[in-house]
Structure 1
């Protein structure tokens, strides 16, 4: 493994200008660039927190190396290190997306002289886990026993498909009769969704003294309660049973219920249809009309 001094000696390069050696470009690091641009590039919320964690990890991989140019070699070093840490291509793509956004801003502001070529890694479709009705009942009952607020929050999330940060960030003024509007979203675009009866009841049971129905929920404490309840109901061995499964479950139920994929995309607030297409296979009922045709063909062959 390269030592800190070795990496710095590799990346502390002067640049040539017009055939003459120009003055050395001021060196910087990923952590420095993050501190300089994070508030401009990302709004407050869980996504900003995740991005900061990603960039911090990448800076750690480079041993805090300072540079004036971010090279393809540096990018390869990061991807190789993340793979050795067990990161999937999907996870690496998310981290590289944050890095690309930061570096493009830094390049525009003159902090970095050149950028590498970012190529999206091929992602596996993977299996999407969602809760069966019986699993939902057991899990929600166990969570509600620990905290009524947490139990109501779970109901709200599974019936709206909201992300944790979106639900916690909801304000009373964002609620209009039977609809909820999420302003602080991952895509940066607001969206409104209608509320089910039980989602509306979950909201109304919250204290009006708070800025929003779920604003006093701390994610770390909620996740801890979730994991305890998950163990108690026999789901502790399933790594995919995390709070985000509530969003998957909402999407799955919409598709299985016959809602077209475009409407599901709008409901979830996905930036691209490709993200929503992960659930398309659940609409298998559309293929049922194919069976009689195949059966008639089979009977005709044996007649």
Structure 2
């Protein structure tokens, strides 16, 4: 029966629309129906008090009928084409608060409890829950397969621990010695088709007086995902929406969440460049207000608690920028900056603010102003962030972007291409998952001018069509592993030390063939792609990074839920006919340079 319940409802609505259209146009030939007739019909229906949504359904029904007449050759043109739909006011969807979710589930009768739990925690439609079969539950990999959704698509929904527990408790029914295939069935083994009465009773026992329908559990699922920061595209995928416009209707927020949002305005936070910092730390930035000339110095030093005790802004010494500089004290009056930029002048000109201009708590714009934010420990812009979903078993890498396993993962995109426009900008997407043993990573690239000539481990793959992943797993340290893989699956990996490690004599470490064996790469294209493929080509690569590798090179434990690493994702093609360089998180350098740990953004293990 699949989504028959939803389809039956749609069918009845279409029948009703056809009835009204038959009354209005039934005595006319199709060729006699004019656009004016259609607009007049809508005006009359509107005058009769019909809702905009009703008028739009009837207009859609008429347009489809006339379009089919054109397809079959009965008409030359569709007279309803171009008639505008009525403006609809979106309904305020009801949804349960977190406390109400628990109360409703606890108030359900035993036969209804698992059904309601599943609806709340998966966002499945009523008909999708009712027709669920045991073959649709993959307990090993933690997925529910919805085979026959309302729009006809198959989708895969991850099980959280609550769903897993609820479904595992749901016992199969033995009827005449046979196992009932349905997860939820009547005593006679028939599909459940209505829980309206039981659900209303549960709401009453839970003390919920406002009108909540079973379908509002789907709204509850979507609303809480959005309120917890899950992006709308991921929510749309979980709900089975083809058009994200539908998902926008679920992006409303509860009153408590809105209150928490506006409460942020009452919290005193450091201002952006040019403003005054209220709470000056022991070390940090002193500078003048941001001026039109963006090429100014970033003055870092130990701060005095009293105004005017920092000196007169004279430079005593300067330092090259290092990742660790913001986290350690530097000599009072010293300077640190990302430059000097080309054609802007010498260091003394760049670094000497006007006498007396250095004031307590003032921020001084660096090169360019956007560089200031990620380098201040107390003045950061809203950071990009990615939450890595957990799975029970990554399985073997197969470079299949559409594998059900990856449905649980958020999708990020490499969208920053600030350097040297060659006229080609590929669409680059990535997803991450993890299990107890490894971090899984898959890239998907819609590309052109594709090539792969580097064939051996540790060859220079960046000259080919290549995706890269740089990750710093130790809090407070900028030491990182960089993984570079071309479209043919050839990998280059090395460990880059932090500035502190370099000062201690630690050098870059090139990973060994033994390490390579721990992280085989699966790729959709052949190992060698030469000559270059100029036509549009989509390619994928997938590899899994064992946590033992990170333990070996960083001495860290296996990450747990809540652990945060920092990383960036890149795409390059240095020696192709159309070279390009792109990143997920922005990199502020005048020329292509991926080795900027300050650009790394949080990856949180969910």
Q: How far does the alpha carbon of each residue in 1:170-190 deviate from its partner, in whole angstroms, 9 at most, with x for none?
A: 222222221011122222222
Aligned counterpart for 2:245 among listed residues 274, 295, 298: 274
Aligned with 1:192: secondary structure?
strand
| Structure-1 separation of matches of 2:16 and 2:93 | 27
Partner of 2:114: 152
| Structure-1 separation of matches of 2:91 and 2:103 | 26
Partner of 1:227: 200
Partner of 1:56: 15
| Structure-1 separation of matches of 2:245 and 2:191 | 32
In the alignment, is residue 139 of structure 1 matched against residue 104 of structure 2? yes
What does residue range 22-101 of structure 1 map to in structure 2 within 5 Å?
45-62=4-21, 66=26, 68-69=29-30, 72=35, 73=37, 77=41, 80-81=44-45, 84=48, 87=51, 89-90=52-53, 92-94=55-57, 96-97=59-60, 100-101=63-64
Please state how far the C-alpha of 1:222 moved relative to its aligned partner.
Answer: 0.9
| Structure-2 separation of matches of 1:52 and 1:79 | 25
Partner of 2:224: 253
| Structure-2 separation of matches of 1:206 and 1:112 | 57
Partner of 1:195: 159
More strand per residue: 2
Moved over 6 A (4+): 283-287, 293-297
Please state how far the C-alpha of 1:246 moved relative to its aligned partner.
Answer: 0.7
In the alignment, is residue 167 of structure 1 matched against residue 140 of structure 2? no
| Structure-2 separation of matches of 1:224 and 1:99 | 37
Aligned CA distance change for structure 1 residues 97 and 165 (closer, same or farther; 3 Å): farther
Contact 1:51 1:95 in 2 (8 A): no
Please state how far the C-alpha of 1:111 moved relative to its aligned partner.
Answer: 7.0
Aligned counterpart for 1:211 among listed residues 154, 178, 181: 181
Larger RCO: 1 or 2 (CA < 8 Å, sep 6+): 1
Aligned with 1:159: secondary structure?
helix
Please state how far the C-alpha of 1:80 moved relative to its aligned partner.
Answer: 4.7
Aligned counterpart for 1:243 among listed residues 210, 214, 220: 214
Aligned counterpart for 1:128 among listed residues 69, 83, 93: 93
Q: How many residues matched?
A: 250
| Structure-2 separation of matches of 1:275 and 1:225 | 29
Q: Which runs of 5+ in 2 are unaligned?
A: 174-178, 279-606
Please state how far the C-alpha of 1:293 moved relative to its aligned partner.
Answer: 6.3
Point out the structure with max Rg over C-alpha.
Answer: 2
| Structure-2 separation of matches of 1:224 and 1:106 | 44
| Structure-2 separation of matches of 1:97 and 1:136 | 37
Aligned with 1:252: secondary structure?
helix
Task: Output the TM-score relative to the length of structure 2.
Answer: 0.36
| Structure-2 separation of matches of 1:206 and 1:96 | 47
Contact 2:182 2:191 in 1 (8 A): no
Partner of 2:144: 180
Task: Output the TM-score relative to the length of structure 1.
Answer: 0.66
